[in-house]
Amino acid sequence: MNMKRKTGWLAMGFVMLAGAALQGCSSTSKGKNDGTAKSDTARSIAHYFSEGTTKQMTPDADGFIRRWLLLEPISKPNRGNTVFTDSYLRKAFDTLYFPNQFTVLPKDGEKVKVGPQELSWHALESKNFNVKLFRFAYGLRKEYYGVLFWSVTIVNSPQEMKNVRMAVGSNSASMWWLNGKEAAFLSGDRRMVMDDVVSSRLTLNKGKNIIRGVVINGPGMSDFCVRFLDENGAPIKDLTISYE
């Protein structure tokens, strides 16, 4: 065979192979982008939360409280979780971000102003024992890094219960109040561990008891879990949880 002709055919073959490879890469890239777009379109909180209802609700089988009013995240930029010292956290948690922050009983859809942010309260029921704050913010297309999450719920007790303890786990640091008094403070950069911090002995009043909590998040995931334990360390389930 003529060497020039052979060389020409080889060159043509390389061009065809290169074209096919480029077309294949283009198709793969397009498919990936389409998949990402579809996933982004489906972004929601539905996998982790149900909308709040008026149906009577009690703690779950392990005593965890799953019904909460959650405020959309407040922007709180920081360099990372290493800044979460006790003094930094107490200042961050004691700062007044919105009116009646420590006394308000919010309603679903109620809005508050925090600087330039207009944020809404959401009445939700967690599908997991741990309330997934990162997924709450991500699903609502809100900031999820460098933020503060505020939460409120009401625990109704059929009778006065003395010597109970509030058991909390959170990622990252958090502070919790029962009926206006500090009950638990979880400091430092920490992962969510069930019953990570247990309060001193508390009293649940007969009737309404208000729990408030604030969780701070730098980079990474964020969630919390809360339940009450009796004198013997057993979860208290004889309670009802409401929004008002």
pLDDT level of residue 40 (50, 70, 90 thresholds): low
Out of 11-15, 45-49, 100-104, 144-148, least confident range: 11-15
Indicate whether 175 and 213 sit together in one domain.
yes
Indicate whether 109 and 212 sit together in one domain.
yes
Range of the domain at 1: 1-42
Distance CA 16, CA 238 (A): 74
Indicate whether 207 and 111 sit together in one domain.
yes
Q: Which residue has the higher pLDDT, 215 or 34?
A: 215
The DSSP string of the chain is --HHHHHHHHHHHHHHHHHHHHHHHHHHHHHHHHHHHHHHHT--STTTEEE--SS-B---TT-B--EEEEEPPEE---S-GGG--HHHHHHHHHS--STTTTT----TT-EEEETTEEEEEEEEEESSSSEEHHHHHHHTT---SSEEEEEEEEEEESS-EEEEEEEEEEES-EEEEETTEEEEEE-SS----TT-EE-S-EEEPSEEEEEEEEEEESSS--EEEEEEE-TTSPBP---EEE--
Digit-coded pLDDT (tens) for 23-33: 443 333 333 33
Indicate whether 166 and 238 sit together in one domain.
yes
Mean per-residue pLDDT of the chain:
87
Indicate whether 64 and 161 sit together in one domain.
yes
Please report the pLDDT score of residue 41 as a whole number.
Answer: 54
Instruction: Answer yes or no: is pLDDT of 34 > 80.
Output: no
CATH number where 201 lies: 2.60.120
Indicate whether 94 and 187 sit together in one domain.
yes
Instruction: Answer yes or no: is pLDDT of 177 > 90.
Output: yes
Number of domains in the chain: 2
Indicate whether 125 and 101 sit together in one domain.
yes
Please report the pLDDT score of residue 100 as a whole number.
Answer: 95
Indicate whether 143 and 213 sit together in one domain.
yes
Indicate whether 25 and 64 sit together in one domain.
no
Instruction: Answer yes or no: is pLDDT of 146 > 70.
Output: yes
pLDDT level of residue 83 (50, 70, 90 thresholds): confident
11's tokens: 């060159």
pLDDT level of residue 61 (50, 70, 90 thresholds): very high
